[in-house]
Amino acid sequence: MEHTTIYLILAASFGLFMAWGIGANDVANAMATSVGSKALTLKRAVIIAAIFEFTGAFLAGGQVTSTIRKGIIDANLLSGTPEVLIFGMLAALLAAGLWLLIATRYGLPVSTTHSIVGAIVGFAAVGIGIEAVKWSKVGSIAASWVISPIIAGTIAYALFRSVQKLVLNTKDPMKNAKRYVPIYIFLTGFMISLVTMFKGLKHIGLNLSKTEAYTMSFAVGIVCAMIGAFLIRRISFNKERNISYHFHDVERVFGVLMIFTACAMAFAHGSNDVANAVGPVAAIVSVVSSGGEIAQKSAMPIWILLLGACGIVVGLIMYGHKVIATVGSKITELTPSRGFCGELAASTTVVLASGTGIPISTTHTLVGAVLGVGFARGISALNLRMIGSIFMSWIITLPAGGVLAIIFFYVLSTIFG
């Protein structure tokens, strides 16, 4: 194979660009509700997200990755033409990265998984043939547009209604917060622990059985609830502070909770979604270093994970504020209790999906959860125009990734072919 050095330089550059896009667009999934509800300032959220996203991506991003994300095409079909795989993966990274940049520019939260899937489908359709694409897989991924926001929205709606009924709309909100919030803390610890085990730690080789994962998460939930109950008892109720807004101290309780959920979601997100950027890079490196052999799985060199982790952090610091602003404050007005319900509903949906194998998008899940919380206060609490723009960007993502990848595939084939 000729041009091997150029292929490796391009793979590293485009992979970094894609990881940058994931950081800029997708990290809002972990931090938007905390910033929107003012539980965290933007600066603190960015620092926390940078630490946990990096740790998740680097420590738990996976030693081995499928050559082609989500098994949309069979890698064996490319065994005789390694260049097609290299051009295709380069085109897919560049296309998905560019689409994420465009979406982030307008503050629209889109799915990084859908971006890369659309791009791979595009290159496969022209590079190998339309019959090479497993359309049933693509169909199930597209179905997640509808499924994940509905599940998350329903759970968030129910959760927030329960917070209203048990705490906020009672005669003594603070007394009831001390009584019921430890239960919510238990649920949070339990769910977030499961998300971390299913999504975050499976790559390290901690192959826990479902029973072990649930038992450990249950124990984590109990410990969190006990610590939470102890800390809440120490929060004094100050009448002065609560005159203008009589939920001030109650919201402080939920605010503390949200910081925990945000950290764990950032870790799980980093470990899970970094594959969208580094998977194609690993595939290219594997083909180039083996002299053109294509395997179904490729090893993940440490430098590629480091590249992905750094890219995510830089994207978040440079441009993450745009999508955080959209999800955190432009869909509906969030308080810590509302944001907490959204975050817990999103993580619960991720756990349900991991357990049942439904393909979901973290972005769609969180936006659905924020919608559910807003809807619990009535349709007037929602910014319908913003929601319309977000839904449109979701529908466009797969075809946009595909069309851009086709263009870049032809350009690369012409230059190197």
Terminal alpha carbon distance of the chain: 12
**pLDDT(40) > 70:** yes
Q: CA-to-CA distance for 109 and 107, rounded, in angstroms?
A: 7
* Residue 29 to residue 238: CA distance in whole angstroms: 33
**pLDDT tier, 245 (very low <50, low <70, confident <90, very high otherwise):** low
User: Tens of pLDDT along 279-294?
Assistant: 899 889 988 888 878 8
Q: 64-101, pLDDT tens digit by residue?
A: 666 666 678 877 788 788 889 999 999 999 999 999 99
pLDDT at 409 over 90: yes
Q: What is the pLDDT of residue 200?
A: 60
pLDDT at residue 65, as a whole number: 66
Residue 203: the pLDDT is 59
pLDDT confidence of residue 242: 60
Provide the angle, in degrees to the nearest 10, between the axes of the packed helices 302-319 and 4-26: 40
> What is the average pLDDT across 244-272?
77
| Predicted pLDDT at 246 | 57
| 61-to-89, 113, 297, 301, 381 alpha-carbon distances in Å | 19, 15, 15, 11, 38
| 3 state DSSP class of 140 | helix
| C-beta separation of 98 from 378 below 8 A | no
Q: Are strands 297-299 and 64-66 parallel, antiparallel or unpaired?
A: antiparallel
Mean pLDDT is lowest, of 220-229, 271-280, 362-371, 396-405, for 271-280
Phi, psi dihedrals of residue 329, rounded to the nearest 5°: -140, -10
What is the domain count for the chain? Answer: 1
Distance (Å, whole) CA 180 – CA 207: 34
Q: What is the mean pLDDT of residues 265-289?
A: 86
Residue 312 scores a pLDDT above 80: yes
Cβ-contact 281, 94 below 8 angstroms: no
Task: Using pLDDT thresholds of 50, 70 and 90, give the confidence band for residue 406.
Answer: very high
- Residue 162's domain comprises 4-416
User: With pLDDT > 90 as the criterion, what percentage of the chain qualifies?
Assistant: 41
Write the CB contacts of 230 (distance below 8 Å, at least 6 apart in sequence).
none
Please, which pLDDT band fits residue 119 given cuts at 50, 70 and 90? very high
Of 199 and 296, which is predicted with more confidence? Answer: 296
DSSP code, position 203: G
| Closest of 307, 223, 211, 371 to residue 14, by C-alpha | 307
DSSP state letters, 170-193 = SS-HHHHHHHHHHHHHHHHHHHHH
Mean pLDDT of the chain: 86
Cα 319 from Cα 50, distance rounded (Å): 13
